[in-house]
Amino acid sequence: MRLYRIALWTTVPIALPLLAAPAGVTAARAVRDTTPEGPLSVWRPEAAARPADAASPFPALGAASVALPRVAPRPAIVPRAQWRADETKRDTHAHYAGGVRAVFIHHTDTPNGYDCADVPRTLRNLYTGQTRDRSWGDLGYNFLVDKCGTIYEGRAGGADRPVVGSHTLGFNQGTTGIAAIGTFGPGTPVPAAMEHAIAALAAWKLGMGGVDPAGKVRLTSTNGKSRYAKGTSAEFDAVSGHRDGFATNCPGEALFARLPAIRTLAASLQGRLSPRTPSGTRLAVSPGSARRGGG
C-alpha cells in the first residue's frame, strides 16, 4: 500500500486597507499670541518630519467616513517676492491651523480706480499699515485679488498651507481670508474676473480638506469681541463674508450680494455642481487678465 502525503494549505484572510487617510498637519509647540486670537501653533522644520497620523495610517473599518479632497486646480498666485514684500517687517514665524474649513471674503476699502499694474504698490502700502500701525505681524489677509482677476499671496507661510491670518477676529484659525482690492458699497459693480478668481481660490483651498464651498460649516469663536462669545460654536457658510463673523460692513453690500454666485461657481469648479447656474447668476468664463506689474 502506497502512502500519499497531502499538503494542507490554510488560507489566512488579509485585511487590505481600502484608502489611506489624508496626511495630517503635525501639531507644533504653542507660541506667544501675535494675532487677535487664542493660542496659536508655529511650524518648525523638525515638526514636519513625521505626520501626526503616522501611528495609524489607515482608517478603521466601520469608522466614520473620512472627508475626501475634491481637487480643484490651483490658480496662478503671484508670490510675495514678486510684489516685493519687505520680509524684515513681519513676524518671522508663520502660524498654522490643522486645515482650512471656511473662507471669509473681505474688501480692502481702498479706491477702485486703480490700474492693475500698480497693485503691488497698493499691497506694499497695506502691508506697512497692517504691520506697523495695527501690529498684526504681517498682512492680515491670506490672499488678495484685483479687478483683473490676479491673485496675490498675502500673509507669509506658504499659499498651499493652512496659514492663520488676522482677518476675521474670533475666526482666524482654520479659515482663509481673501480680500478683494477695492471698495464695494451699494451699487458698485464687482468685476467678473475678480469673482471668478475668488471662486477659483476658494474651490482650491476648501477642496484640499473636502469642504463643499456651497455647504455649511461649524466654527468656534476664539474671541468674545467677534459676533459670538468666546467658545461659542456657530454655523457659517463655507464661503462667508467678514460681517458674518464680526460687526462690520465688510466686504461691502455689492460684494456680499455676489457671494451666492461665488459659492456656486466654486462648487462647480470642484465638480460638485453642473455648469448651469440659477437664473440671474453672473459667472465669468475665465479669470481675465493676469498682469503682474511690478508697481
Q: In this predicted model, what pLDDT tens digit does every residue of 16-36 receive, in sequence order? A: 333 333 333 333 333 333 333
Distance CA 285, CA 23 (A): 34
- pLDDT at residue 295 is higher than 70: no
Instruction: Tell me which of 21-35, 154-168, 275-289 is least confident.
Output: 21-35
Distance CA 255, CA 197 (A): 13
Q: Which pLDDT score, from 0 to 100, does residue 102 have?
A: 98
Distance CA 190, CA 178 (A): 15
Q: Identify the burial level of 120 via C-beta atoms within 10 angstroms of its C-beta, where 0-12 means exposed, 13-18 middle and 19 or more buried.
A: buried
- pLDDT at residue 65 is higher than 60: no
Structure-model confidence comparison of residues 289 and 139, the more confident one:
139
Beta pairing class for 216-220 and 233-237: antiparallel
Structure-model confidence comparison of residues 127 and 63, the more confident one:
127
Q: Which pLDDT score, from 0 to 100, does residue 187 have?
A: 96
Distance CA 76, CA 228 (A): 35
Cα of 16 vs its chain's centroid, Å: 34
Q: Which pLDDT score, from 0 to 100, does residue 189 have?
A: 97
Whether 104 contacts 178, CB under 8 Å: yes
Q: Which pLDDT score, from 0 to 100, does residue 49 have?
A: 33
Kindly report, residue by residue over 45-54, the tens digit of the pLDDT: 333 333 333 3
Average pLDDT over all residues of the chain:
78
- Rounded mean pLDDT, 73-97: 96
Q: Which pLDDT score, from 0 to 100, does residue 195 have?
A: 98
Structure-model confidence comparison of residues 8 and 129, the more confident one:
129
Q: Which pLDDT score, from 0 to 100, does residue 37 have?
A: 40
Instruction: Establish how many alpha carbons lie within 13 A of residue 72's alpha carbon, considering only the half-sphere containing its beta carbon.
Output: 29
Contacts of 165 (CB under 8 A, 6+ apart): 35, 139, 140, 141, 142, 154, 155, 172, 175, 176, 177
Distance CA 288, CA 150 (A): 8
